[in-house]
Chain A
Amino acid sequence: MSRIQAKTDAFRAIADPTRRAILDRLRAGPANAGTLASDFQSSRPAVSKHLKVLREARLVVDTRIGRERVYAVNPVPLQSVAGWLEGYRAFWQVSLTKLKRNLEAK
């Protein structure tokens, strides 16, 4: 999978509110699918499907512990998603600061 492809998947993955909620939950600490299903009052297959999308987008990583898979957040792709917009954000932050300075100069 190319870097750009992984980034694209990250966008699709975070477009879904349940998946964003799962990511938020995993930021608090790793969890298995059963724990996430009960946290979200959702079926285990539904949660597993979301986890599969998140895993393919490399937003979460899973580790096998005994018979269980434990999921944790992988922050790297999220940073690249943020980086894509950061140029635009910085442009407006800097430009509006300059505009304020210019217009309020005595």
Chain B
Amino acid sequence: MSGIKTRARAVADLVDGCIVASVELATTPERVFRALASAEVVDWWVNPGVFDTREWTGDVRVGGYWRASGIGGGGPYALEGKFLEVDPPRKLVQTWHFAGAPGTPSTVTYLLEPIDGGTRLTVRHSDIAAPDRRNNIGAGWRSSFDRLSEILATHPA
């Protein structure tokens, strides 16, 4: 396969409060989709020593729930959400929320496009709650979310 060299790139849009990330992968959209919507998630939501996803379960259909749990910053974390759109192998939209946290969930949209020699995967993580919505948070959430967030931030990719 040729031309698939583009590395992963993630940028923060400070104004919209979202992350846009993309990567080109030398494999088929079908193969990529499977990695996004199966327990295979535990193989790539991983940064050794920083966050380590150990379990993923999901009912991959519109309205179905997913949950991922693991260890980050020396303590456990759990993420969960619901599938909003399931259109293999083109699009997957799911809500994303730290389990037990107040506030509205954020949204993760995966778009898969076939390109010469592979697949371009674009991720948009939007509706990330601004700090003003995190103002009246419970102490437990603060410790789990902020710990993970700070640990992620202090170990830039």
A contact residues vs B (CB 8 Å cutoff) = 4, 7-8, 11, 14-15, 20, 81-100, 102-104
Contact = CB atoms under 8 A, between A and B. Distances in A.
Given A4-B131, A93-B9, A104 B152 contact: no
B97 interface: no
B43 interface: yes
A100 B22 CA distance: 11
Number of contact residues on B: which range applies? 35 or more
Summarize B's interface: helix, strand, loop or mixed.
Answer: mixed
Given A89-B12, A90-B152, 5 more contacts: A8-B135, A86-B156, A93-B8, A93-B156, A95-B44
B14 A104 contact: no
Nearest to A85: B12
Contacts of A87: 148-153
A103 B131 contact: no
Nearest first, the 10 A-B pairs at minimum CB distance are A93-B157, A87-B149, A96-B8, A87-B152, A8-B132, A92-B21, A93-B10, A86-B153, A85-B12, A99-B44
B139 interface: no
Given A92-B19, A93-B157, A103-B35, A11 B131 contact: yes
B10 A89 contact: yes
Given A8-B131, A102-B44, A85 B8 contact: no
Nearest to B96: A88
A97 B7 contact: yes
B111 interface: no
Interface in B136-153: 148-153
B12 A88 contact: yes
A94 B154 CA distance: 13
B156 A92 contact: no
A100 B23 contact: yes
A10 B134 CA distance: 15
A96 B131 contact: no
A76 to B, nearest CB: 15
Nearest to B137: A4
